[in-house]
Each structure stands twice: as structure tokens, then as C-alpha cells.
Structure 1
Amino acid sequence: MSRTRRDINDLYRAVWRWHFYAGLIAIPFLILLAVTGALYLFKDEVEHWWYADTLRVEAQSAQPISAQAQLDAALATQPGEAFRYVTPAAPDLAAEVDIRTAGGEKRAVYVDPYSGEVTGILPYRGSVMWTIRHLHSLNYFGTTASLLIEIVAGWTILLVLTGLYLWWPRGQRGGVVTVRSRPSKRLFWRDLHAVLGVFVGGFILFLAVTGMPWSTVWGSKVNELANGNNFGYPDGVRVNVPMSDARLAERELTPWSLEQARLPASTASDIPPIGLDGAVARFDALGLAPGYAVSLPGGASDVYTGSIYPDDLSQQRVVHLDQYTGDTLLDMRYADYGPLGQTLEWGVNVHLGQEFGIANQIVLAAACAGIVLLCVASGVMWWMRRPAGRLGVPPAPHDPRKLRGVLALLAIGGVIFPLVGASMIAMALVDAGIRRWSARPTTQAAS
């Protein structure tokens, strides 16, 4: 074998070996993320069907009763302290009043806006689709578990890039865009894995990259950097008003660009507060899209916050009102975000299946199905290839420097994503141990 040919084979082995490691780490999570992500794409459709008796009401031509009357009806059924009111997004949907009970639990109470009748009570953000969302992000298992998502996203990017190198045609005619053989043969599963990887690899990369803003370490640090000095508001909308130390994310689910946003403060006054009805009237006059949420003031210096994050990014909006005068203290729209914020918000919106309507949902759902089949094909292929009783790690290159070269390229990604880099260092140490252990019998035999 020529030296050039051996170098090529060694590089292929090095890439294959790390592709295998990336698969071991990422594939179990990819299946979970693909299944839960595909389900969450249809969040509204599923919840409006699952909780139809609670969320849906009969649309009427009569005017709804006041927001305060709806809130009072909710409190009469579920005593506690109301902290959020959500206007109906459509004439046939109930309003939502979120209440903190005396025991500290949070409940979402749904009210018919025409009659004031309570249609149902659910745990606050505890519906079936919120559970799916928590599973998708691993928040269901605590903060430590959610760190794994960031690590998995980095290894997934590595998995796709190394897979593309392994797929790249090197004179072969089959297994590039067509599948050969039969399901009983390993060649069938190898080709299926390779072809599927090419078709869904771009989707995997997109979903991994657009999911990074939610990550615990990298996402939060980039968020602080993007917002400048941890201030949080998009450039150009800062105004000279008193500010509190509270953050918008502490009272409402926010877009990525506003997670660090500080809340303005109401100026204490002798005049009475405008109340929920006054705040709703003001938000309606300002043109917030139907379905906006109103975070209620909990103290003398708090504000009324109206927020809406609909499928149409151009209608994203957050407005803060002085609770006494009703003056607009801050009014933020998608157009006010900087270029980085707009790009990331667009990516997140597509990631959630919202930007392009039902087509967005169908295409991503098909991609998720392809990801699951891709993972299954890799598992079957590995099972049919591995030696009995062994893990079946691909062979190491004859020249260890080829592994060092691959590791040097991986280090670039490790610098961008430090948590991923730390996991790669740990994997490199494990790989060094595996290679030493595998070489021991050969050394002993030679001696």
C-alpha cells in the first residue's frame, strides 16, 4: 500500500472512530429530542383538542365581560393571588388567569370571557405539551440534566460533520443517494444510514445550532454579551425611566433577546392605580395582538407588562406601563432587536415550527421522523458489525498523528462551546485508555 493511500485510510479511520464516539453520546438523546420535538411542533393543535372542554368556548356576538370581572370569577373558584392574565387569542377561546395559591402552588384557571364561568383549572405550565417541552429540554430532570442538552448539541454537530466526510463518494456507485441490498444485510442498513444522513443532516445541524441559545452555559453567556453589559434591552429602545433590579424573564416566558431585560419601575403616586381593566384598555389601544399576556404588578413600584410572542415575528411585542398613570415606559418590538437578536429569534421561530405555518410543522416533523430512522439504522448497522461480546469501536489509525489532527479540528469547536470541549477532552482520555488496553495483548505476544 502506498504511503498516500495509507494516510487516507488512517484519516478515514480517525474520523470514523470519532463519528462512532459522537454517536454513542448523541444518538439516545437525538431520539428523545426528535420524538418530543415532533410532538411539540403541534402544541396548539394538540392542546386545543386534548383540553377542548377547558380551552374552547362558544363564540358570541355580545361583548365580553371586563378583564377584572374574569379575574374575580377565577379567584372565586380558585382562591389565591393572581399574577397573570392572558387575553383570549380568538373569539372561541377562554381567557386564562394564573394564580398562586396559599400553599405556593401555581394554577391556570380558564374563564369564559362572555359569561365569567370557569371552564377548567390546570397546573400552571403543567399541561401535556408543557410536559413534552420540559422533557425535550431535560428541564424535567433539573438544571444539571439540562446541561447535557448543550453537550449533546455540540456532539451532534460533530456527528453530522464527520458523517458527511464518511459519506463523501470515493468512487462507489451505491450508498450515495440509493440504498442497496435487503434489510437482512448490513449493507442495506449502512446505505440507509448514509443516505438518510445526507438528507436530514442539514436539518440536524439547523436544529442543533438554533437550539443552542436555550443552553444553560453557552446560551446565557452569549445572551449577556449580545445584550451588552447585561442590560438586556435591544439597542435604541432604552429610555430615561427609573429601572428596577427585576428581570423580564422572572415574570414571563421571553424571547431569547429579552432574557436579560430589566424591568422599569412605576413612580409611586397618590393617584390610584389604573387597574387591570385600565391596563387592558391601554394595551388594546396600543395594538397588541390578541392573546397577549398581562403580568400584574406585585408591589408598589411594579409595572403592568403586556407581552405577545405569536407565530408572526413582526407582531412580537413587550410593553411596560406605569401602574398609576398608564404611561408607556417601554415598548419593544421585533424590529427593535439588533441583527444578532433578529437572526436568533428567526431561527428559534423556525425551530418551533412557527415561522412558515403548517408547512414548517410538516417539514420538521418529517425531518424528526428521518432522524429517528437514521438513529435506528445506525444501531442495527453497529449490532450487525460488532464482534461478539465487544463494543466494536472502529479501528484506530496506524499513525496516531491522524487522531491528533482530528482532535485539533475538534478543539476549534471546543473553544466556541466550552462545555462541549470539556466533554471532548474527557472522551479523548477515554479513547487513549481504550487504545492502550487494546494494544496490551499484542505487546505481550510480541515479547
Structure 2
Amino acid sequence: MKRDTHVSQTIDPPPIGTPDPATAQSREQRDLRGVDPSVWQRLRPFLMRLHFYGGMLAGPFLLIAAVTGLLYTFTPQLDPIVFKHELKVDQVGDRPLPMSEQIARAMAAHPEGQVTSIRPPSARDETTQVVMAAPDVPTDYSRTVFVDPYSGDVRGALTTFGQWLPIRAWFDEFHRNLHLGEYGRNYSELAASWLWVVALGGLALWIGYRARTRKLRRLAVPDRDKSGRTRTMTWHGSVGLLVVVGLLGLSVTGLTWSRYAGESISELRASLSWTTPSVNTVLSGETPTDSGASHHDSGSGSAEAEALSPTQTLIGVDRVLSTAENAGLQGPMWLYPPSAAGEGWQVTENKRRAPTRYDAITVDPSNGQITDRINFSDWPLIAKMTNWTIDAHMGILFGIVNQITLALLMIGLITVIIRGYILWWRRRPTRRRGLPRAPRRGALAELKPIEALILIVVIAGIGWYVPLFGLSIAAFVLFDVTVGLWQRRETVEPEQSVIAE
């Protein structure tokens, strides 16, 4: 019986991160050529532990985000098909009605709403979209009324989220918060907070593994001639390598509009003047000092500005549209009426597919004069890149190619997550408990004091700006320490009995 126990222990693969006997040092010295092997030898257990944390904690959330994101990539082509009646006219006329008359038809059909923006047709067969705030629509949503620009007929009204029609809006919210409101946003932020950590840690470990086995040229190719756990691991690593850049981009852009980390990113962008510029809608051209606003800030410019009635806000819309067209603005184009006296109309291009167009102007409705203008070419480079990366994340920037790329990324991430759990399952203890084996504890203790201090400071700093990452890793460390103390006490008696034998 003792021999059987000894044999099973030698045949079973050692836990992840456990040093190999005798040859461990020589093998580790080949891990990363050109780097002090002792540094990698000390750092590798920490990376293994961190990768384990990320997989166990964020894996389920990442899997949900990947599946919902994959579903979202199929929606852009659905809305135009399902809502063709609202989006397209039956017959193209010779000349469209004045925009003021089209808006009046929309308001007559839906008197409960107040117009917040108008999207003129970008093509001759498209309808005009009149977006309204209405008391009976959910928070952050609007009622969009679709008007035939030639006949003035109201072809329908839909509940929309920004520019998204119902199908795309539903899947967008499903991906963002699982339709659980603000509370549900924590899941996607937690996934985005850990995604880059898991991806970069896994990349380093995969490169180290290939270097140790002298197969650096096969970083992106799995070992199909292997079987069992080794085959699964090489598929896990090679697919992860192929999608790592895209995953890092999704993580960063996902954090920009997250609930908590997004606030930190917004503050950072503001301090570095990386924010998206906007036109000044105050017609005087000078912002009152008590408002605290600056040039290119949108808003009334005065806390005591006189509010306008719904009818007053729409005065001069025909003149404003003509001015925008003469100024070279092109569709898709959005018109935003003033909300207070002394403000002008804001007209903004919103072409989100490459090449993008985001020129914006402020127009005085009384005389049609342009009082402010910002061209997209004058945006700071970081502001441009932020817009481009966000649009790429949403599958807009490059159209169908963008959607296919996102779908492949999501499929790749799903397979990586599933194979990661398969690897852990195959390393589970064969007796007593069925929990997956984790890399050994005490990884920080193997580092030099200065190295451990730097890592702790870096993780603490990241946790401060990305709160859900910081809180989750602190909770996991506390849990891990507790389990370690409990397991150590559990193993004391069995070890004593073996020695006695």
C-alpha cells in the first residue's frame, strides 16, 4: 500500500508553479534568454499565482462578457431589417418639407415628448428622426419619432438608446449590465479590470514555457502531436497569444466608460487636456464668470439663464439646417436645440465609420450666423484615438470587418477561458477534495524585498484607480491566507502519522 501511494504521487503531475527536482534551476535559466534567469525564476511563481487569481475570479465574468459581446456583434444588421418601415420611405419625393414642419408633425403625433435632437436624413430614401424626452420611457432612453420628409407622415416611434434602435439597444445593455441597472455594471467593470492582468500574465508565462521547451518559433502554433493536458495547454497559450492585443484594447476601452474606473480615467484625461472638445453654445461668445465654464464648453453659461418653452427652443431650425449644410457639414448629422435663452443650436457630424467626421458648429437661430466651430482635424490626438478605439470596441469603426474581428476575438476568448478551466480541472487533487490546485503560496516571499515592495506598490496604485480590481484582489488574498492556514492545520496530523509509520 505504501508503494502504491508513493507511485501515484510520483506519477501525478506536480502542482502548477512547483519547482522540478534537480533540473529546475537549469531549465528556468533557459526561460527568457537575454534576461537574468534568476529574476524570471523569482517572478514566475508570482505571475502564476496572479494568473490563477484572475482565472478563478474573473473567468466567469469574462465568459459572460464574451458571450454577450459576441451576441452584440450580430445586431447592427438586424435593426435596419426589422425596422425598415420606420427607417425608410416608401417613395422618394422631389423636395423634402421644411424641417420645422416635419418636427411639428412629430410633436402633433406625440405631444407628451419634448424634442432634444433631430437627425436629418443622410440619404434620399431615409426618414427624419426626431428624438424626444418623454416621461414614460426608461432613464437614459428616448422616444424617437420617424417622419417621412416628403409627405410628413409619421411612420412610427421607437424607444431608443442614443443612436441605437431597440434590438441593438437591448443587446448593448445586456452586454453592459445584464439588464440589472447600475448594480449590473459591476460585472462588466470587474471583467475589464482583470482582463488585461490575466492577458499579460498569461502572455509572459506562455513565452517562458516556449523558451524553456525551446519552441519560441511555435508561440502561435499549438502542439497537435501532443495529447492530454499538454495539448490543451498549448492550445490555451497559442490562441491567447493571437487574441492578446485585441483583448488589451477591449479592456482599456471598456474601462473608459465603466462606473468607478471610468471616473478616474475621466479625471486623468481632463488633467492632461485629452478630453473631447465641444463647441461653446453661448451666443455672446463670452461665458459669464459665475458659471465656471470655459470656451468650447457646451451649456447655458449661466446658472440663472431663462429656460425656453418647447416651442421656443425650435425657432429657426430651418435656418440652422441650411447654415450647417452651407458650412460643409455632412450626414449623419445631429441638431441640438438650445435649452435656455442666449444659447444657439449645436450641429454635429457623427460619422463613426472610417473615415470619421465629427465637425461641430454653433448657429445663432435668429440670423443663421456661425458663432463657434471645431473641426475634427483640430482635436487632440489622444481625443481622436479615444473615439476611434471606442468605436472599434463597439464594432462601428470598420463596419462589417470590425464586427467579424470582434466576433473572432470573443470566440477566441471563450475558448481560452474554457481551456483554462479544463487545465485546472485536470490538475485537481485525486483524493479527498475536488478543488483545483492552485500555484503554490508564498510567491512574494521568493522575491527580493525591493522587488516585492515594488509589486505591492504597483498593485496598490492600480487598485486605487481601478477599485474593483483592488477590492477583489484584496478579498482573494484574504481568502487565500485563510485557506492556507486551515490547510496547514489539516495536514499536521497526517504528516505525523506517516512519520510514525
Q: TM-score per shorter chain, which class?
A: 0.7 to 0.9
Offset at residue 198 of structure 1 (A): 0.9
- CA gap 1:428/1:69 in 2 versus in 1, 3 angstroms: same
**Aligned 1:427-442 pairs, distance under 5 A:** 427-442=476-491
Offset at residue 274 of structure 1 (A): 4.3
Q: 1:180 touches 1:191 (CA, 8 Å); kept in 2?
A: yes
Match of 1:366 in 2: 408
In structure 2, what is the Cα distance between the partners aligned to 1:34 and 1:22? 15
- CA gap 1:155/1:185 in 2 versus in 1, 3 angstroms: same
* Higher alpha-carbon Rg: 2
Match of 1:443 in 2: 492
Matching of residue 320 in structure 1 with residue 356 in structure 2: no
Match of 1:337 in 2: 379
In structure 2, what is the Cα distance between the partners aligned to 1:285 and 1:409? 58
Match of 2:87 in 1: 55
Offset at residue 37 of structure 1 (A): 3.0
In structure 2, what is the Cα distance between the partners aligned to 1:110 and 1:358? 26
Letter matched to residue 323 of structure 2: R
TM-score (norm: length of structure 2): 0.75
In structure 2, what is the Cα distance between the partners aligned to 1:228 and 1:9? 40
How big is each residue's C-alpha offset from its partner over 1:49-89, in whole Å with a ceiling of 9 and x where there is no partner? 22222222246251111212221222222222222211122
2:156 aligns to what SS in structure 1? strand
Match of 2:392 in 1: 350
1:65 aligns to what SS in structure 2? coil
Matching of residue 87 in structure 1 with residue 120 in structure 2: yes
Matching of residue 401 in structure 1 with residue 445 in structure 2: yes
Letter matched to residue 84 of structure 1: S
Matching of residue 209 in structure 1 with residue 252 in structure 2: yes
In structure 2, what is the Cα distance between the partners aligned to 1:79 and 1:246? 35
In structure 2, what is the Cα distance between the partners aligned to 1:136 and 1:113? 35
- CA gap 1:430/1:320 in 2 versus in 1, 3 angstroms: farther
How big is each residue's C-alpha offset from its partner over 1:152-198, in whole Å with a ceiling of 9 and x where there is no partner? 22311110111112212133267844334699833332222111111
Match of 2:34 in 1: none
Letter matched to residue 486 of structure 2: W
Offset at residue 286 of structure 1 (A): 1.9
Q: 1:224 touches 1:232 (CA, 8 Å); kept in 2?
A: no
Letter matched to residue 333 of structure 1: N
Q: 2:362 touches 2:372 (CA, 8 Å); kept in 1?
A: yes
1:188 aligns to what SS in structure 2? helix
How big is each residue's C-alpha offset from its partner over 1:274-318, in whole Å with a ceiling of 9 and x where there is no partner? 422222222222222212121223333443222232123541133
Selected match of 1:219 from 240, 243, 262: 262
Selected match of 2:97 from 65, 79, 84: 65
- CA gap 1:406/1:143 in 2 versus in 1, 3 angstroms: farther
Q: 2:280 touches 2:299 (CA, 8 Å); kept in 1?
A: no
Matching of residue 297 in structure 1 with residue 338 in structure 2: yes
Letter matched to residue 317 of structure 2: L
Match of 1:412 in 2: 458
1:370 aligns to what SS in structure 2? helix
In structure 1, what is the Cα distance between the partners aligned to 2:124 and 2:350? 19
Selected match of 2:77 from 41, 45, 50: 45
Matching of residue 275 in structure 1 with residue 307 in structure 2: no
Offset at residue 429 of structure 1 (A): 2.0
Selected match of 1:15 from 32, 47, 51: 47
TM-score (norm: length of structure 1): 0.83
Point out the more displaced range, 422-431 or 227-236.
227-236
- CA gap 1:283/1:43 in 2 versus in 1, 3 angstroms: farther
- CA gap 1:301/1:426 in 2 versus in 1, 3 angstroms: farther
- CA gap 1:321/1:38 in 2 versus in 1, 3 angstroms: farther
- CA gap 1:421/1:263 in 2 versus in 1, 3 angstroms: same
Q: 2:300 touches 2:339 (CA, 8 Å); kept in 1?
A: no
Q: 1:264 touches 1:329 (CA, 8 Å); kept in 2?
A: no
1:114 aligns to what SS in structure 2? coil
**Aligned 1:177-196 pairs, distance under 5 A:** 177-180=220-223, 185-196=228-239
Selected match of 2:166 from 116, 123, 127: 127
Selected match of 1:163 from 198, 202, 205: 202
In structure 2, what is the Cα distance between the partners aligned to 1:166 and 1:220? 32
Residue ranges of structure 2 left out of the alignment (5+ in a row): 1-21, 29-37, 307-311, 497-501
Letter matched to residue 241 of structure 1: E
2:79 aligns to what SS in structure 1? helix
Letter matched to residue 434 of structure 1: V
2:212 aligns to what SS in structure 1? coil
In structure 2, what is the Cα distance between the partners aligned to 1:153 and 1:261? 30
Offset at residue 408 of structure 1 (A): 4.5
How big is each residue's C-alpha offset from its partner over 1:347-394, in whole Å with a ceiling of 9 and x where there is no partner? 223323333343333223222221122222223333333236433141
- CA gap 1:79/1:67 in 2 versus in 1, 3 angstroms: same
Residue ranges of structure 1 left out of the alignment (5+ in a row): 248-257
The percent of aligned pairs where both chains have the same amino acid is 25
Please provide the CA RMSD for this pair: 3.7
- CA gap 1:128/1:356 in 2 versus in 1, 3 angstroms: closer
Point out the more displaced range, 191-200 or 173-182.
173-182
Letter matched to residue 200 of structure 2: L
- CA gap 1:181/1:3 in 2 versus in 1, 3 angstroms: closer
Matching of residue 27 in structure 1 with residue 59 in structure 2: yes
- CA gap 1:220/1:283 in 2 versus in 1, 3 angstroms: farther
Q: 2:274 touches 2:380 (CA, 8 Å); kept in 1?
A: no
Letter matched to residue 127 of structure 2: A
